[in-house]
Amino acid sequence: MTASGTLLGDGRVLGGRAMLRSARNPATILGAVLFPILFFVLFNLVMRRIMEARGFDYAQLLPPTIVVQAMFFTAMSSAYYVADDRRSGIIARFRSLPIHRSAPLIGRSLGDLSRATVSAVVITALGIATGMRFERGWVWALAYLGLALLFALAVSLGMGLIGYAAPTPEAAASIASTPYLPLIMLSSGFAPVEDFPDWLEPIVRYQPVSVTIDALRATAGTGDLGDTVPLALAWCVGLIIVFAALGSRALERAA
Amino acid sequence: MGVSGIQVSGLVKRFGETTALAGVTFEAARGEVLGLLGPNGAGKTTTVNVLSTLLRPDAGSATVDGHDVVTEPAEVRRSIALTGQFAALDEALTGVENLALFGRLRGLSGSAARARADELLERFDLVEAADGRVSSYSGGMRRRLDLAASLVDDVPILFLDEPTTGLDPRSRATLWDMVRDLQAEGRTIILTTQYLEEADQLADRIVLIDNGKVVVEGTPSDLKRSAGGQSCVVQPVDPGRLDEVAKLLDDRGPLSVEHDLGTVTIPDTEAADLSAILQRLGQAGIEVADLSLRRPTLDDVFLDLTGDST
Ligand SMILES: Nc1ncnc2c1ncn2[C@@H]1O[C@H](COP(=O)(O)OP(=O)(O)O)[C@@H](O)[C@H]1O
Ligand SMILES: [Mg+2]
């Protein structure tokens, strides 16, 4: 008999708990599905004709942006959930159990990814309904979904850190709702990178949100795969490694 | 015989400037209920958190069920269950789902966890609430479920951190009965409390801590004995004659005169002394409104040693 449970076994049990908890919380469904749909509809109404007049294929360009935005929305709940688990003391109780040390982190990530999957699939379906096409075939369509989820995982792990640092769940939620706005506004998501001031352009071009949106567009057929996908993978995997390491450490200390 | 139960030696824990534990030493034998008694901020929760491997001590050592809490935390976790100061449950899940979750995390299969959950719900009188979300539970129900969640696996050592704080008297009595049952099953229990009555009722031995240090330890009756024998409280009808009473009786030892209560307290008095006292007061023409013997309570010990005025 081992002293501790297995990472995957315990992680799966805690993942089930995280999913149940999300499913029962109407606010997370709002964040994961309704808000992104609202943004999608509004941007189509306001921007589609302007962008098409400039020669852009907006049906291809917008859905990846909204998917990335949706990944932010789904990840924000993670900050709240972590802080809520600290307040209720359940995180300390998990730590007093003979489970794998990192199982709570895995469990939470599974919950986050389940919300992200629902959200990404819904937005993508909406995109297809308004004219988006996966021009490189279904394998690259799966890569599109995979990359979106990888990005979601990176952001969720980052949001989790806010949950460990914030004094209350409410504070965590409001802090978590701020980084997405500058990151997505100063990205290739809503306006072409060339439209930004010269001094800002390199930052806009290479920050992780732009890089991920560009790679998603490329997997759907717009843009070069080799120029975008490796860079996006490097950003996402790098952030996941750093945030997961910091998250494990924070978990060790949470009492 | 191997080492078992709990041994705590010279535990020190600091949080920045605050020294939460300044060298705490005590032992709990296997099967014993040890009451860790102390006012708010004494270091009870910190002690429990070190023993349940949530916090690393800055100095000192502790073994739980024969395992060192610092070097063998995984083994310690197999032997213990922690019921923290605040009910640590998932509010979004139902009672049965919470218990099944903790059962799975303790290594039970899905069906075994479910069966165990049903058993515990029965035992803790939560069958009707089983399928309601914890967010709708009363304080007493939460506490019972919280305790049940510590029993999904048959662990030998339980930590109960202020299990009845904030409960109404009836829920408190119910919880006391449950703790007695757990004790009867032979478990070693560390129970922290701010209530002397609770320690008196439940603990085999009491360790009184204040400001991160053990002030005194012993059985409840040891501690009461250390507070001195019983005393006699005299209340004359006319409070104006209090000093006269004190003068008449001052050969009986160091008296204390409480002007605001209108009483004189005579130390070390036996029932047999009472008639002599009454007689002496009667001869001086002092009418007595009340005369009573008072046994020392744990409160006396507590207040004496912690200097707490509450
Ligand atoms: N995480 C912490 N950070 C800073 N100070 C703490 C922390 N935990 C406890 N303390 C301090 O340590 C002392 C003992 O606290 P605690 O063990 O919670 O007492 P008790 O449980 O007896 O009320 C208190 O002064 C408390 O303020
Ligand atoms: Mg406490």
Task: Answer whether residue B306 is part of any domain.
Answer: no
Residues of chain B in contact with residue A4, where contact means CB-CB under 8 angstroms, are 74, 77
Of B58-62, B134-138, B167-171, B207-211, where does mean pLDDT reach its minimum?
Answer: B167-171
Residue A231 is part of which domain span? 7-253
Q: What is the mean pLDDT of residues B70-86?
A: 93
The reported pLDDT for the residue numbered A4 is 66
B2: confidence class by pLDDT, cuts 50, 70, 90? very low
Q: Nearest Cα to B142, choosing from B101, B169, B175, B114?
A: B175
Q: Say which residue the tokens 């009454």 belong to.
A: B278
The reported pLDDT for the residue numbered A28 is 82
Say which residue, B308 or B142, is predicted with more confidence: B142
For residues B20 and B99, membership in a common domain is answered with yes
The reported pLDDT for the residue numbered A184 is 94
Residues of chain B in contact with residue A14, where contact means CB-CB under 8 angstroms, are 105
| pLDDT at B301 exceeding the cut of 90 | no
Task: Answer whether residue A1 is part of any domain.
Answer: no
The reported pLDDT for the residue numbered A30 is 83
Q: Quick one: which atom of ligand 1 is closest to the CA of B85?
A: 21
Query: What chain A residue is nearest to B48 in terms of C-alpha separation?
Result: A96
Amino acid at B211: N
For residues B199 and B253, membership in a common domain is answered with no
For B78, which of A3, A21, A255 is closest by C-beta distance?
A3
Task: Answer whether residue A2 is part of any domain.
Answer: no
The domain boundary residue, chosen from B225, B242, B268: B225
Are B89 and B98 in contact by the 8 Å Cβ rule? The answer is yes
The reported pLDDT for the residue numbered B171 is 86
| pLDDT at B206 exceeding the cut of 70 | yes
* Tokens matching residue A240: 């996941």
Are A228 and A214 in contact by the 8 Å Cβ rule? The answer is yes
For ligand 1, atom 6, name the residue with the nearest CA: B15
For residues B235 and B91, membership in a common domain is answered with no
B299: which residues sit within 8 A by CB, 6+ positions away? B196
Residues of chain B in contact with residue A20, where contact means CB-CB under 8 angstroms, are 92-93, 97
Mean pLDDT of chain A: 93
For residues B68 and B112, membership in a common domain is answered with yes
Write the DSSP string, B140-206.
HHHHHHHHHHTTSS--SEEEEESTTTT--HHHHHHHHHHHHHHHHTT-EEEEEES-HHHHHHH-SEE
Query: What chain B residue is nearest to A25 in terms of C-alpha separation?
Result: B92
| pLDDT at B1 exceeding the cut of 70 | no
Q: Quick check: CB of B41 below 6 Å from ligand 1?
A: yes
pLDDT one-digit tens code per residue, B28-68:
999 999 999 998 999 999 999 999 999 999 999 999 999 99
Task: Answer whether residue B305 is part of any domain.
Answer: no
Query: What chain A residue is nearest to B142 in terms of C-alpha separation?
Result: A88
Q: Say which residue the tokens 């009756």 belong to.
A: B221
- Give how far B196 is from chain A: nearest CA, Å: 26
The domain boundary residue, chosen from B167, B202, B225: B225
C-alpha A209 chain-centroid distance: 10
Give residue B197's region: left, alpha or beta (phi > 0; psi -120 to 50): alpha
Q: Quick check: CB of B42 below 6 Å from ligand 1?
A: yes
For the beta carbon of residue B3, count every other beta carbon within 10 angstroms. 12
- Number of helices followed by number of strands (H, E) in chain B: 11, 14
Helices (H), chain B: 44-51, 73-79, 95-105, 110-123, 139-149, 169-184, 196-202, 220-226, 242-249, 274-283, 298-306
Q: What is the CATH number of the domain that holds B260?
A: 3.30.70.870
B255: confidence class by pLDDT, cuts 50, 70, 90? confident
Euclidean distance between CA atoms B243 and B260, whole angstroms:
13
The domain boundary residue, chosen from B208, B225, B242: B225
Residues of chain A in contact with residue B93, where contact means CB-CB under 8 angstroms, are 17, 20-21
Distance B117 CA to ligand 2 centre (A): 28
Q: What is the CA angle B77-B81-B85, rounded to 5?
A: 120
| pLDDT at A90 exceeding the cut of 50 | yes
A34: which residues sit within 8 A by CB, 6+ positions away? none
pLDDT one-digit tens code per residue, B18-38:
999 999 999 999 999 999 999
Residues from A in contact with B at Cβ < 8 Å: 3-5, 10, 13-14, 17, 20-21, 24-25, 88-90, 92-99, 255
Say which residue, A97 or B2, is predicted with more confidence: A97
Are B215 and B25 in contact by the 8 Å Cβ rule? The answer is no
Q: What is the CA angle B238-B244-B248, rounded to 5?
A: 125
Euclidean distance between CA atoms A169 and A11, whole angstroms:
23
Which mutation among B11, B12, B15, B162 tests ligand 1's pocket best, with the greatest number of atoms within 8 A of CB?
B15
Task: Answer whether residue B158 is part of any domain.
Answer: yes
Any A CB within 8 A of B114 CB: no
| pLDDT at B83 exceeding the cut of 70 | yes
pLDDT one-digit tens code per residue, A210-226:
999 999 999 999 999 99
For ligand 1, atom 26, name the residue with the nearest CA: B41
Rounded (10°) CA dihedral B140, B145, B147, B149: -170
Q: What is the mean pLDDT of residues A224-233?
A: 96
For residues B122 and B55, membership in a common domain is answered with yes
Euclidean distance between CA atoms A107 and A113, whole angstroms:
10
- Interchain pair B106, A98: CB under 8 A: yes
Residue B82 is part of which domain span? 6-225
| pLDDT at B252 exceeding the cut of 70 | yes
Euclidean distance between CA atoms A183 and A206, whole angstroms:
11
Count of A–B CB contacts within 8 Å? 71
Residues of chain A in contact with residue B154, where contact means CB-CB under 8 angstroms, are none
Task: Answer whether residue B301 is part of any domain.
Answer: no
Task: Report the number of distinct structural domains present in chain B.
Answer: 2
Mean pLDDT of chain B: 90
* Tokens matching residue A70: 């949706």
Q: What is the CATH number of the domain that holds B94?
A: 3.40.50.300
Helix (H) or strand (E) holding B34, with range, is: strand B33-37
Distance B218 CA to ligand 1 centre (A): 24
Q: Quick check: CB of B44 below 6 Å from ligand 1?
A: yes
Among all ligands shown, which has an atom nearest to the Cα of B21? Answer: 1
For residues B212 and B239, membership in a common domain is answered with no
B309: confidence class by pLDDT, cuts 50, 70, 90? very low
Are B204 and B34 in contact by the 8 Å Cβ rule? The answer is yes
Q: List residues bridging with B6 in a β-sheet.
A: B28, B64
* Tokens matching residue B132: 């309601």
Euclidean distance between CA atoms B147 and B172, whole angstroms:
13
Full strand arrangement of the beta sheet holding B205-210: B80-83, B157-161, B188-193, B33-37, B205-210, B213-218
Q: What are phi and psi of B117, to 5 degrees?
A: -60, -45
Q: What is the DSSP letter of A32?
A: I
Q: What is the CA angle A31-A73-A83, rounded to 5?
A: 90
A2: confidence class by pLDDT, cuts 50, 70, 90? very low
For the beta carbon of residue A73, count every other beta carbon within 10 angstroms. 24
For residues B173 and B246, membership in a common domain is answered with no
Q: What is the mean pLDDT of residues B254-273?
A: 86
Say which residue, B262 or B21, is predicted with more confidence: B21
Distance B248 CA to ligand 2 centre (A): 48
Q: What are phi and psi of B125, to 5 degrees?
A: 60, 45
For residues B203 and B111, membership in a common domain is answered with yes
Half-sphere exposure of A210 (CA within 13 A, CB side): 21
Task: Answer whether residue A19 is part of any domain.
Answer: yes
Euclidean distance between CA atoms A30 and A115, whole angstroms:
11
Q: Quick check: CB of B45 below 6 Å from ligand 1?
A: yes
Say which residue, A167 or A28, is predicted with more confidence: A167
Query: What chain A residue is nearest to B67 in terms of C-alpha separation?
Result: A3
Distance B38 CA to ligand 2 centre (A): 9
Q: List residues bridging with B8 in a β-sheet.
A: B26, B62
Task: Answer whether residue A238 is part of any domain.
Answer: yes
A136: confidence class by pLDDT, cuts 50, 70, 90? very high
Task: Answer whether residue A98 is part of any domain.
Answer: yes
Residues of chain A in contact with residue B80, where contact means CB-CB under 8 angstroms, are 96
| pLDDT at B94 exceeding the cut of 80 | yes
pLDDT one-digit tens code per residue, A104-120:
999 999 999 999 999 99
For residues B65 and B83, membership in a common domain is answered with yes
Any A CB within 8 A of B85 CB: yes
For residues B256 and B209, membership in a common domain is answered with no
For residues B175 and B219, membership in a common domain is answered with yes
Euclidean distance between CA atoms A201 and A187, whole angstroms:
9
Q: Nearest Cα to B88, choosing from B59, B125, B57, B48?
A: B48
* Tokens matching residue A39: 């943004």
Task: Report the number of distinct structural domains present in chain A.
Answer: 1
Q: What is the mean pLDDT of residues A13-20?
A: 96
For residues B221 and B243, membership in a common domain is answered with no
A255: confidence class by pLDDT, cuts 50, 70, 90? low
Among all ligands shown, which has an atom nearest to the Cα of B39? Answer: 1
Is the model's pTM score more than 0.90?
no
Q: What is the mean pLDDT of residues A134-139?
A: 96
